Amino acid sequence: MAERNAVKAGEGLRLGEKIRGLRRQRELSQVQLAERLGISASYLNLIEANKRPLPAALLLRVATELGVELAAFASETDTRIERDLHEVFGDPLFEPHGLTNADVRELVAAAPNVARAVLTLYRGYKSARESTDVLAARMHDEESSVGAPMSRAPTEEVNDMIQERRNHFPDLEARAEQLTVDARLEIDDMYRGLSDYLVRKHGIKVLIERNVDDRGTLRAFDPRLRELHLSELLPTRSRSFQVAHQLALLEVGAELDALCADPLLTSPESRALAKVALANYFASAVMMPYTRFLRAAMQEHYDLDVLGRRFRVGFEQVCHRVTTLRRAGAEGVPFHMLRIDVAGNISKRFSASGIGFARFSGACPKWNVFASFSTPGMIRIQVSEMPDGQRYFCIARTVQREATGYFSQHPQQAIGLGCRIEHAKELVYADGVDLGSQRIAAEVGVTCRSCERNDCAQRAHPSVRHPMRIDENVRGATIYTLSQRKGW
């Protein structure tokens, strides 16, 4: 049975990349691992290149030799579905049914399409419930127009599309690299090179506009006059990015449209938002060419400030770029990333590390990304331990929009970036940190409702993992925190 499940879990997956990554983490050569497995090095090479299937029996031997559970070879998609279902079943709606972690795992393994259908159904339920709340509020305010959206948010669909493609788009990377050659771009003079190329290739002039002329607009393209207008409030690096974004629309528009035809994008709004996100991806790839950037990242141990200065980009742009380094055979550290505001709203998220993000409810307040607002501009580090025991090394820092004037608001957001603990040694931020220490790990979760830790001093809601017990004679850190007294 275990072997049949292993085969099922391995169908259609890029197991070769997982094996190669695990082998390199353990500093084994292909010859060494092949000898342990009793196969030829050439056969192992074909498996790692995803050119040969991986029989169930051999998969079990690989897991044993590399010292990992079979779950390590699970599909990223199935893992993400299981994680989302845990959060869904954390809704009080399901509390009477007593669902367990094992129930969720069995559902995803036995009927993944049913699991996806449950997620779709729950999203529809959430959307309808939110729309009802909006309608009730507007009726209370005696407003005549309703217009409450009933479909899934475009941002959610775009996030899912990016996650499904592992935030890596090879065709855009290749076209961006070709552009750097055709335009003879230099990192130290990126803005001039891009602007000259825009004139030379497309006959479009870049004009810098005074803020008072069109307040609030940072970039505007006039196709009739062949003019690209940029705000004077943009620093040079942001001007370069906006010119590169416009070049994406002009030069790789067909590729962008093809990617936006993804079935995960179900509305015109989703496809329009995805096109903007992909044009931004292309612009980042132009300003931080893949091979050169990956080499620099590895040499500098992912020192984000050094990389930002070397490639003349901002902190958030660097964080975005390190999450895209997933080229087969030339991968960087698999990072997760999120961006939040002071209210805890997650506006961007991506996970290559395997960590889960809240999708339907509030996120865990113990993540260091929330604490970063108390120390603006300072990088904070954290070793985070999830309820399943998996550890992550995380950094966080606030960012602020640069294109603002004295009378403008200065919205502040925070970026959280992290990786599995086994990759932390590749980051400069982990120097001197005892990564194996039990004392420094912060116990975090995804959401209160799905978290099993009943001794958390920041618990805001009862956990669906345990029956709620309230004793009027005993008070813990919170009303939902179970007593730790012996005998209670």
Distance, CA of 329 to CA of 51 (rounded, Å): 14
Whether the predicted model's global pTM rises above the 0.85 cut: no
Domain ranges of the chain: 2-74, 78-150, 170-287, 330-443, 452-488
Q: Are 447 and 85 in contact (CB under 8 A)?
A: no
| CATH class, range 170-287 | mainly alpha
In CATH terms, the fold of domain 330-443 is: Beta-Lactamase (3.30.450)
CA distances from 385 to 366, 391, 419, 431, 481 (A): 11, 4, 12, 19, 19
User: Who contacts 103 (Cβ-Cβ below 8 Å, separation ≥6)?
Assistant: none
Strands 227-231 and 205-209: parallel
- Spell out the per-residue pLDDT of the chain, length 488, in tens: 333 344 333 343 457 777 887 888 788 899 999 999 989 989 898 888 878 877 877 888 888 888 877 666 666 666 777 777 877 777 767 767 777 777 777 777 667 778 888 888 887 777 676 656 545 444 444 443 344 344 567 888 898 899 889 999 999 999 999 999 999 999 999 999 999 999 999 999 999 988 755 566 889 999 999 999 999 889 999 999 999 999 999 999 999 999 999 998 989 999 999 999 999 999 999 999 999 999 999 999 999 999 999 999 999 999 999 999 999 889 999 999 999 998 888 888 888 888 877 766 677 888 899 999 999 999 999 999 988 888 999 999 999 876 566 555 667 899 999 999 999 999 999 999 999 888 888 888 887 777 777 777 777 777 766 666 666 666 666 666 654 444 44
**What phi, psi does 477 have (nearest 5°)?**
-60, -35
Distance, CA of 449 to CA of 65 (rounded, Å): 37
Distance, CA of 373 to CA of 396 (rounded, Å): 9
What torsion, rounded to 10 degrees, do the Cα atoms 185, 186, 187, 191 define? -60
Q: Are 226 and 265 in contact (CB under 8 A)?
A: no
2-74 belongs to CATH 3.40.50.300? no
Per-residue b or e along 307-323, where b marks 16 or more CB atoms closer than 10 Å to that residue's CB: bbebbbbbbbbbbbbbb
Q: Which residue has the tokens 């559902």?
A: 107
Q: Are 297 and 311 in contact (CB under 8 A)?
A: no
